[in-house]
Amino acid sequence: MARPKKPAKTSVPEGPALAKAATGIQGLDEITGGGLPRGRPTLLCGSAGSGKTMLAAEFLVHGALDYDEPGVFMMFEESAEELAQNLRSLGVDLDKLQRQKKIALDHVHIERNEIQETGEYDLEGLFIRLGHAIDTIGAKRVVLDTIEALFSGLPNHAVLRAELRRLFRWLKDRGVTAIVTGERGETSLTRFGLEEYVADCVILLDHRIVDQVSTRRLRVVKYRGTGHGTNEYPFLIGKGGIAVLPITSLRLDHQAPTERVSTGIHGLDDMLGGLGLYRGSSALVSGAPGTGKSSVGATFVDAACQRGERALLFAYEESANQVLRNMRSIGVDLGKWQRQGLLHIDASRPTLFGLEQHLVHMYEMAREFKPSVVVVDPISNLTMDKEDRSLKPTLMRLIDFLKQQGITALFTSLTSDMAADVADSQVGVSSLMDTWILLSNMAANGERTRTLQVLKSRGMPHSHQVREFVMGNGGVDLVDVYLSGDRVLTGTARVSQVAQEQAANELRRRDHDRRIKELASHRKAIDAQIAALNAQADERAGEVAFAIEREKLTAEGASARSRAIAQSRDVPPPGPRVLAVRPTVRKGAK
Amino acid sequence: MNAHKSSAKSRASAHAAELAEKALHEEQPEVPEWQLRLYVAGHTAKSIAAFENLKRVCETHLAGRYSIEVVDLLVNPRLAAGDQILAVPTLVRKFPEPIRKIIGDLSNEERVLVGLDVQPRR
């Protein structure tokens, strides 16, 4: 049995305010503001099978184990053995509690046909038995389940009623906190009008079947001298005992961390101010069938596991294996996280239980697994009835619970394909969410394109663009915004525009190449010309040098000859004279 | 039956027990055919009336064949659960079996006889 720690909410001041005895039952103490009226009897009524005995028994067990208040369980219908068996299924060892003198059981059994009545009598025997049991273990709590059985056992109802009145007075005088159970009557709260005697606190249990799904509900009909939640609250008898769904929506006091977590989709993170979601916030991903909601959810889980965080995935449409297989097809391998114990996939049919029971199941799973990320895929499937008004309060409770635990949650929700309805149909739920991501299909030019937009995201700047959303082998991502002129292009339009632009680019590139090549060959031609001219110049220079040499030699020959002639004629040689021909070389001339 | 008597003495309130004691001593054979136990809560008018009514009926119809044990629950509250006592006074026919119970002050002799399943001696 889940035994919550002593709630700190015994903040109800002692003294003038009513003292209360905590029941230790999840949720009930919150509704009643601390528990049942201490030292007074409380009437617990409901039809057969509504959980009266279980609630009463838990009240005693919690009292004995958690609040050091021993209790007496006086039963008129079940035997002690049967009760012990029922409680054993919740993990309570009643025999041990009895041995430890924390709980005393007394089975009052009356057989009408064994009893003959003659003359006056009273029920002092019952008082003595109860008093003895209380004194033996020092009981502070008493349960009478169901005292109405006396009406069928004792013929004289006048005496019985007088004695019951005395009994309840007596219980008050003893100062024990008592639960008296009663069977639900046709017109009154209890079949024999016990509410007449027990006027301080009346709790009604109800077991209703709506659309073949049963839901247990609890309502505090009356609680004299104190405020209390007046609504009908769903409750469950689970493996942890009774859990009344907490009304956390009464209080909005959860923490608001500023830390951000990635959604696993880079493009989406970018749209959400570049950082992703706030930790502990809740996001709704809604969209028509086939828009990729589950893939977004799986990617989110994958990202959390990659960070080494624990993730819990509630799948209401696919089995765990199916989820693993399908996500592998887009390159998200959840199987390894599951093997590492980071991921738990909880797949069930939504029709398996009622909405409330799903909720409690989620609570229990979340408490057990302690994830930092929870994905529910999808919430729209949790209720078969589309108009189910209980979806919103149930989700509110779940969201509040997750927020208080600091768990980041992502819910997917199926909407109809009609674009106009999208905003309407989810308004009820979306107001609870911090971030709302809408996936939609855009059909144009004979083609369907997935798009993603962030409709809202509290507390962060976010992109208002409609982005194209693609799923491939490499997972889920957003395509960069493709602007052409003043239009955002998606799908084939984007692809063809891209192709067109690519072609244009290619053409231009080739043109450039061509021009560069042309330039290069031109340069080569010039270089060749330069080489040829150089060669020509060299040639000419050689010719000139040769001519000069030749002329020099000729000149030297002439002077040598004239000297020889002068010597032979003995004429003094003539003075130096200027050569008549001076060769001039104009280099480079043609 | 001595053990029985003494235990009865220890349990019963003084007055009722003395009355019972006398009755037993005077009338009882070794193993009485009718073993009756009367549960009362204290020394009240109802308990005295019940005891006296019972004694009268027994004397009239079961003389010499009965034993009466009086249990005062105020003295021995533990014993109330054993015989499933709720109302007081309650007369329990322990023997002959099956166990039968008569609640009330036993003022109606006829009903007591019916309740005990005794053939009236006429």
Among the listed residues A344, A350, A352, A355, the one whose alpha carbon sits nearest the alpha carbon of residue A320: A344
Q: What are phi and psi of A72, to 5 degrees?
A: -110, 130
Q: Which of A371, A325, A322 is nearest to A349 (CA)?
A: A322
Residues of A in contact with B90 (CB under 8 A): 121, 125
The vertex-A583 CA angle with A578 and A587, nearest 5°, equals: 145
**Number of CB pairs < 8 Å for A and B?**
95
**pLDDT score, position B11:** 47
A236 Cβ contact partners less than 8 Å away, ≥ 6 residues apart: A216, A242, A243, A245, A356, A357, A360
A122/B contact by beta carbon, under 8 A: yes
Read off φ and ψ for residue B67, nearest 5 degrees. -135, 145
Residue with tokens 């007088």: A162
Q: Identify whether A2 is part of a domain.
A: no
Considering only CB atoms, A118 lies closest to which of B81, B84, B106, namely B106
Interface test with B, best of A124, A127, A160, A166 (most B CBs within 10 A): A124
Count of structural domains, chain A = 3
**A120 vs B contacts (CB less than 8 Å):** 46, 104-105, 107
Domain assignment present for residue A13? The answer is: no
Distance CA B59, CA A82 (A): 44
What pLDDT, on the 0 to 100 scale, is given for residue A249?
47
Both A108 and A181 in one domain: the answer is: yes
Identity of the amino acid at A420: A
| In-domain check, residue A12 | no
The reply to whether A568 and A470 lie within a common domain is no
The answer to whether position B121 is within a domain reads no
The residue in chain A having the minimum alpha-carbon distance to the alpha carbon of residue B111 is A118
Measured between its terminal Cα atoms, the distance across chain A in Å is 118
What confidence score (pLDDT) does residue A582 get? 56
Q: Do A278 and A382 fall into the same domain? A: yes
Evaluate whether residue B78 is within a structural domain: yes
Q: Tell me what pLDDT residue A589 has.
A: 47
| A511 and A373 in a common domain | no
- Per residue in B53-101, pLDDT (tens digit) is 999 888 888 888 888 999 998 888 888 888 888 888 999 988 887 888 8
* Residue-level pLDDT at B19: 57
Q: Which two tokens stand for residue A135?
A: 């004194």
What pLDDT sits at residue A550? Answer: 92
Question: A381 with A478, same domain?
Answer: yes
pLDDT band at B28 (very low <50, low <70, confident <90, very high): very low
- % of chain B surpassing 70 pLDDT: 74
The answer to whether A122 and A48 have CB atoms below 8 angstroms apart is no
Point out the domain boundary residue: A470, A493, A516. A493
C-beta of residue A469 within 8 angstroms of C-beta of residue A454: no
CATH number at residue A145: 3.40.50.300
CB A40 within 8 A of CB A178: yes
Q: Would you call B86 exposed, middle or buried from its count of C-beta atoms within 10 A (0-12, 13-18, 19+)?
A: buried
pLDDT surpasses 90 at B15: no
CA A547 to chain centre: 103
Domain ends where: A443, A460, A493?
A493
Same domain flag for A218 and A267 = no
Q: Is residue A67 part of a domain?
A: yes
Determine whether the interchain pair B80/A131 forms a contact, defined as Cβ–Cβ distance below 8 Å. Answer: no
A233 and A276, same domain (yes or no)? no
ipTM over 0.85: no
d(CA B111, CA B107): 9
- Answer yes or no: is A10 within a domain: no
Question: Is residue A254 domain-resident?
Answer: no
- CA A589 vs CA A292, A537, A541: distances in Å: 84, 9, 10
Low-confidence ranges of chain A (pLDDT < 70): 1-17, 211-213, 246-253, 352, 383-390, 416-428, 481, 485-486, 488, 571-590
Instruction: Give the per-residue pLDDT at B5.
Output: 45
Q: Which residues of A touch B38 (CB under 8 A)?
A: none
Domain for residue B122, yes or no? Answer: no
Instruction: Mark yes or no for CB contact A132/B80 under 8 Å.
Output: yes
Residues A354 and A429 in one domain: yes
On whether both A477 and A506 belong to a single domain, the answer is: no
Position B103 in a domain: yes
Task: Look at chain A and count its residues.
Answer: 590
Asked if residues A367 and A312 have their Cβ atoms less than 8 Å apart, the reply is no
Contact indicator for A240, A1 with CB cutoff of 8 Å: yes
Instruction: State whether A419 and A509 are in the same domain.
Output: no
Indicate the burial class of A370 (C-beta count within 10 angstroms; 0-12, 13-18, 19 or more).
Answer: exposed
Domain boundary among A221, A246, A271: A246
B84 touches chain A (CB under 8 A): yes
Alpha-helix runs per DSSP H in A175-248? none
Residue B45 structural domain? 2-116
Shared domain check, A512 and A489: no
Tens of pLDDT along A237-256?
877 778 777 555 455 667 77
Decide if A155 touches B, using CB distance below 8 A: no
The answer to the question of residue A419 being in a domain is: yes
Shortest Cα–Cα distance, A122 to chain B (Å) = 5
* CA nearest to A481, candidates A451, A455, A514, A446: A451
| Domain assignment of residue A15, yes or no | no
- A149 vs B contacts (CB less than 8 Å): none
- Kindly state whether residue B100 falls inside one of the protein's structural domains: yes
Domain of A327, in residue numbers: 260-493
Contacts of A322 (CB under 8 A, 6+ apart): none
> Is A106 an 8 Å CB contact of chain B?
yes
Overall number of domains in chain B = 1
A480 shares its domain with A398: yes
Domain with residue B34: its CATH number is 3.40.30.10
